[in-house]
Structure 1
């Protein structure tokens, strides 16, 4: 089910980044090696597992970024979402790119409103 409000979309995108970050790390070469009987190294532990439905839901949410036509708006929103998901501090990202945080945040909210409208139109 596609969320209706910009806040729901924002939360869903944060959730998607968190899921993909965890799932992406467990498919590495070290984890594959542990499946071989001859492997004598330490067994890698998964921090968390996700149901395939949760992974599909995350992958669907990540496709929503393609609905944002302006690449600068898309990039700023992606940075904010990645930071909210635990990937760093958004204020530091803003400082690095020379952005004023309050301006970028308000533009991200506007982009989320447009995205909510677009996703709603797709359902109609």
Structure 2
């Protein structure tokens, strides 16, 4: 992705977020699509607070993974057979409410870290 960006004359840094530094730059926005759960929420939010210009925005996005019941049941059967110790909540794959609960826990943890970092307004969902 960085090579593609550079090919289009867009500056790109390659690093883990924890190792990356803004090098004196500030930004209007930091966007994490399908990735924020890989970053320590407290450390990541603190780093974003340093990198944003006044009034800047942090946008953390996920889409909710919901399979049709027949597909979810087939996936759960494969998980049980191939990866019996996987940290996948197998019953949740087939129950929409439980899938939403799992994502809500992630969103709540992220919102709490944003609030705890200071310097941000109340997170919106």
TM-score w.r.t. the length of structure 1 is 0.29
Higher RCO (C-alpha 8 Å, min separation 6): 1
More helix by share: 1
